[in-house]
Amino acid sequence: MKTRLLNVWSVLKLPLVAILVGFVVGAFCIMLAGSNPLTAYAALLKGSLASLPSFGETLYKVTPILLTGLAAAIGFRCGLFNIGGEGQYVVAAIATVGVAWSFQGLPHFILVPILLITGALVGGVWGGIAGILKAKRGINEVITTIMLNWTALYLSNYLVRTLLNPSRLLDKLPSGHTVAVPEAARLMKLKVIIPAFGYSSAHTGIFIAIGVAVLMWFILFKTTLGYEIRAVGFNPTASEYGGISSAKNTFLAMFISGGLAGLAGAIQIMGLVYMVNQSPELPGYGFTGLCVALVGLSHPLGCIPAALLFGILDNGSRQMQLAGIPKEINAIISAVILVFVAGALLLKYINVYFEKKRGAGKPRFKEVREV
Amino acid sequence: MKGRWKKDLPKVLEMKNITKVFPGVVANDKVNFDLEKGEIHVLLGENGAGKTTLMNILYGLYQATSGEIYFHGEKVDIKGPNDAINLGIGMVHQHFMLVENFTVTENIVLGSEPSKANGLYLDMETARNTVKEVSDNFGLKVDPNALIQDISVGLSQRVEILKTLHKGAEVLILDEPTAVLTPQEIDELGVILKNLTQEGKSIILITHKLKEVLSMSDRVTVIRRGKIVDTLKTKDTNIDQLAEMMVGRSVKLTSDKEDKTPGDVILFIENLVVKDTRKYDAVKSISFDVKAGEIFAVAGVDGNGQKELVEALTGLTKTVSGKVSLCGKDITGNKPKKVLEAGVGHIPEDRHKRGLILQNTLAENLILGYHYCPPFARKGVMNYAKINEHARTLISEYDVRTPNEYVTAGSLSGGNQQKAIIAREFYKDPVLLIASQPTRGLDVGAIEFVHNRLIEQRDNNKAVLLVSLELDEVMNLADRIAVIYQGEIMGIVEGKDATERQLGLMMAGASMEEAIEGGKADNENKIA
């Protein structure tokens, strides 16, 4: 039992220390800006956790980044850097609007699953394109997913201006956004169930996201699919030897990863924004997802607190601004946390690499202890 | 220099009562070790016996829990490799620490590059001259302008040795220096080391290979499970005594097997052609068969198509033409999964690249290849209770030394990793077992174990295809031996009729007839 606790600690100390350092560095920056760090952090917590409504605001920020975080995590587990969460999110969002509009006659409890599946499928296909290119042609997924991000954005902008524009569908003046999804397509707000959530826009999407995190944990660690994905991620040649197709699992991992990012897009539309705006830039949830996955150590359950952390930093910044602290401080804190987690992970890989070079096959006592 | 008189002391180095405790493991237990000036002293022990730990303490990579180190009679405190280098201790690691796309010179001076114009430019001219000077002084010939990636492993090792000499090493530690060398290169290394001792250097050699101890060293210290067994003069000992001291029990260096009539043809290969990664024909129209109840060995020098042959048989590489069938069923060009399912077990030559997923747990590794089969998985959901139970069974049956089944495969020693692979492949009870260099990097005790298991498989009427670079192993185990040279089979001989000389000639490209004649024909072509 004691060793088990030690093990848990040895895994968790990395992100925890990074977070601590992040806040310490943040504190220095706040002092440089001439404010009191304690007031600042009190404001941060007050703005994000202190009351049910403010906590609700945090929750709705957590929802999409938890899903894109899971998307990035599953990619990492298969040795893939899916930087295309953005594009997968965007195509899924626009598809959700389109499908919701087309099936607006359907009742809520049928339309919602249809839309969730649509979002996941469309995002999955978008990720799957990069997956196939990687599996069949060995084209680096970083390049293809970045390219697909912009393809997705401009495709979405085109659809916003044309097919899904209120001018086409509703006989209104042209506008910079699509039509809104029908009432039946919208997720329930938490304040409807628990009135204490007050002004918050939190919606039931958070439960879907948490459910998906648990599901992904199960898939990664309890199924043959997860076993194979992880095997390919760690050692493609040994996987091949064990009869595991690296191409198939690369595709599947990219498909699932894209599907999760797509789900984030669908849920964001259904729970919060109800429409897609024409936009000159990518929404950013995919990138934040990469941070969530890194801090969550690519563990689906680790992504939950990691997403919460980034949600708190995001939501709490308003209250901090009211207390006179620039909101950039929060960006600094997230950046420092990331640098430390990523840096430590990098060091670990470098270490493992050199240990391998130094003495392959020699007992590595240190590791025995850590496991 | 710390006083001239100290030079007269015979002991360059003394390590007294060194104890190193890792959590849960005593890697070194009150170890005493000394080194005399101008000697080659072998530190002999099995994998995991603690020899590398001891040397890492000397080189400053680890700190001893207790104990003292004396250098030229003076107590020293070595906090890191820099301290060791400053004292004049150099280490050549088993895996070279060279920058592949740098020249020999650049690698040697790395870290102490001579510069011009106050450090603005590298002074490559001076660097080259220094390198030439050092290499001339010690008779270690290298081309200072060659890129590391273009030179052989043997030469790379020379560069590593030069690197330590350039830093002024007086004591050289070589960690398993022969693991990567061909027999000829091993001989050359022996000469180099002798020369170095004549130049006044003292050498510590870490190894688990008994033959080298006898041919290369002046003294030998045997370490077992972290404790020194004894220190002996090499000339007063013999191979069997050393083996027994190292393993802790008497080991048979050859294995017995009973005569056995082979059964049906299991593996049938006809005119197989395989290309290597550079698209050259690596296997050129090979044909042979392997029968039930026999060990069929493919002998040859490394890089003559063995790897491509095995990878083609197991579906890991495409075959260009030819036919492979297993128990009468055509399996040519099948995917690895289908080959495995057809009843092939495969002990791969590279256990880190192919055999194990080092970051996964031992238990997860012990089902690789049948991880999707019941009882380990049903309908895609894995049953970890069964998987862990399976792991525990194999661990005890095959004596895999590990704290438990949850540690990563990478944390095991090489011998135990190999045992794990063997356990996993034997569990399948394969009709054909392809064992590719199954004892590579293993120590005596583990080799004996692997050999016995291969013979057991044969005695159970299974077919075994053994691919090995070690002639001793081939002659010891095989019922029939095929010699492969540049992708072609030079001939197939009965194991009991084979002589080392004949096989050696065939390995160098002589046809079977020439090889039989070869006894008298030429002495220059001799292959050890």
Domains and CATH numbers, chain B: 11-88+170-246 (3.40.50.300), 102-168 (no CATH), 266-343+430-521 (3.40.50.300)
Phi and psi angles of residue B275, each rounded to the nearest 5 degrees, phi first: -100, 150
| Arithmetic mean of pLDDT, B166-186 | 80
Q: What is the DSSP letter of B39?
A: -
Tell me whether residues A361 and B417 touch, CB distance under 8 A.
Answer: yes
> Is A141 inside any structural domain?
yes
- Is A368 part of any domain? no
Residues A234, B409: Cα–Cα separation, whole Å:
12
User: Which chain B residues are Cβ-neighbours of A238 within 8 angstroms?
Assistant: 353-357, 368
Contact A227 B364 (CB under 8 A): yes
Domain carrying residue A176: 34-325
**Taking CB atoms and an 8 Å limit, are A360 and B403 in contact across chains?**
no
Q: What is the pLDDT of residue B143?
A: 85
Whole-angstrom Cα distance, residue A58 to residue A42? 16
Separation in Å, CA B72 to CA A148, B6, B11, B13, B200: 67, 6, 7, 6, 14
Question: How far is residue B470's CA from residue B504's CA, in Å, rounded to a whole number?
Answer: 11
Identify which of A222, A227, A238 has the shortest CB distance to residue B355. Answer: A238
Residue A343 falls within a domain, yes or no? Answer: no
Q: Cβ B369–A223 below 8 Å, yes or no?
A: no
Judge whether A131 and A254 are in contact, CB under 8 Å: yes
Backbone angles phi, psi at B71, to 5 degrees: -120, 120
Q: What's the order of all strands across the beta sheet hosting B329-330?
A: B281-291, B265-275, B321-326, B329-330
Is A28 domain-assigned? no
Residue B274's pLDDT band, with cuts at 50, 70 and 90, is: very high
What value does the mean pLDDT take over residues B485-506?
A: 85
Other CB atoms within 10 A of residue B152 CB:
11
Contact A251, A135 (CB under 8 A): yes
Residue B204 pLDDT grade (very low, low, confident, very high; cuts 50, 70, 90): very high
CB contact under 8 A, B356 and A235: yes
**CATH at A67:** 1.10.3470
- As a whole number of angstroms, the distance between CA A32 and CA B368 comes to 55
Which site among B411, B416, B418 would you substitute to test the A interface, given the most A Cβ atoms closer than 10 Å to its Cβ? B411
Residue A101 has what pLDDT? 93
Task: State how far the alpha carbon of B502 is from the alpha carbons of B483, B499, B511, in Å.
Answer: 10, 5, 10
Which residues make Cβ contacts (< 8 Å) with residue A150, sequence separation at least 6?
A87, A282
Of A238, A360, A368, nearest to B411 by CB-CB distance is A368
The DSSP code sequence of A15-54 is HHHHHHHHHHHHHHHHHHTTS-HHHHHHHHHHHHTSSHHH
Q: What is the DSSP letter of B78?
A: -
Instruction: Indicate the pTM of the whole model.
Output: 0.75
Poorest-pLDDT segment among A246-260, B169-183, B331-345, B451-465? B169-183
Q: What kind and span of H or E run contains A303?
A: helix A303-322
Q: How many residues does chain A have?
A: 371
Q: Which residues contact B135 (CB under 8 A, 6 or more apart)?
A: B141, B142, B144, B162
Q: How far is residue A326 CA from its own chain's centroid?
A: 25
The interaxial angle of helices A303-322 and A285-295, nearest 10 deg, is: 120
Identify the pLDDT of residue B528: 38
CB-based contacts of B207, cutoff 8 Å, min separation 6 = B42, B43, B44, B176, B177, B178, B213
Structural domain count, chain A: 1
Determine whether the interchain pair B22/A228 forms a contact, defined as Cβ–Cβ distance below 8 Å.
Answer: no
Q: What is the pLDDT of residues B375-422, one digit of tens each?
A: 899 999 999 999 999 999 999 988 888 888 888 898 887 778 888 999
pLDDT of residue A300: 95
To the nearest whole Å, the CA of B413 is away from the closest chain A CA by 4
Taking residue A342's Cβ as centre, other Cβ atoms within 10 Å add up to: 15
In 3-state terms, chain A is what percent helix, strand and coil (to 5)? 75, 0, 20
Is there a contact between B95 and A367 if contact means CB atoms under 8 Å apart? no
Query: What angle, 0 to 180 degrees and rounded to 10, lies between the N-to-C axes of helices A85-102 and A108-137?
Result: 140
Residue A70 lies in a domain: yes
Asked whether residue A142 is domain-assigned, the answer is yes
Model pLDDT for residues B110-127, shown as the tens digit of each residue: 877 777 766 677 788 888
Best of A9, A77, A229, A241 to substitute, by most chain B Cβ atoms within 10 angstroms, is: A241
A264 within a domain of the structure (yes/no)? yes
Radius of gyration from C-alpha coordinates of chain B: 25
For the ranges A153-162, B8-17, B73-82, B378-387, the lowest mean pLDDT is seen at: B8-17
Taken in order A33, A35, A39, A43, the sign of the CA dihedral is negative
CA A330, CA B105: separation in Å to the nearest integer? 50
Of the candidates A235, A243, A368, the beta carbon closest to that of B407 is on: A368
Look at the block and give the residue holding tokens 């995919």: A286
> B47, A241: Cβ pair inside 8 Å?
no
> Using 50, 70 and 90 to split pLDDT, how confident is the model at B521?
very low
Place of tokens 């002024």: B168
Q: N- to C-terminal Cα distance for chain B? A: 44
B393: closest CA of chain A, how far (Å) = 20
Q: Which residues of A touch B406 (CB under 8 A)?
A: 371
Mutate to test the interface with A, among B368, B378, B400 (most CBs of A within 10 A): B368
- Pick the residue with more confidence: B226 or A345? B226
Interface of chain A toward chain B, CB-CB under 8 angstroms: 222-225, 227-228, 230-231, 234-235, 237-245, 352, 356-369, 371
CA of A222 to nearest chain B CA: how many angstroms apart? 5
Contacts of B48 in chain A (CB under 8 A): 362-363
Closest chain A residue to B350 measured between Cα atoms?
A238
Q: Which residue has the tokens 């039946």?
A: A184
Q: Report yes or no on A23 lying in a domain.
A: no
Question: Are the Cβ atoms of B371 and A224 closer than 8 angstroms?
Answer: yes
> Residue A141 is encoded by which pair of tokens?
């997924």
**pLDDT tens for the 371 residues of chain A, in order:** 456 666 778 778 888 888 888 889 888 888 888 888 888 889 888 888 888 989 999 999 999 999 999 999 999 999 999 999 999 999 999 999 999 999 989 999 999 999 999 999 999 999 999 999 999 999 999 999 999 999 999 999 999 999 999 888 888 888 889 999 999 999 999 888 888 888 888 999 999 999 999 999 999 999 999 999 999 999 999 999 999 999 999 999 999 999 999 999 999 999 999 999 999 999 999 999 999 999 898 999 999 999 999 999 888 888 888 888 887 888 888 888 888 877 777 766 666 555 544 443 333 333 333 32
Q: Does B2 have pLDDT greater than 70?
A: no
3-state SS, one letter per residue, for B421-480 = HHHHHHHCCCCEEEEECCCCCCCHHHHHHHHHHHHHHHHCCCEEEEEECCHHHHHHHCCE
- Residue B183 is predicted with a pLDDT of 64
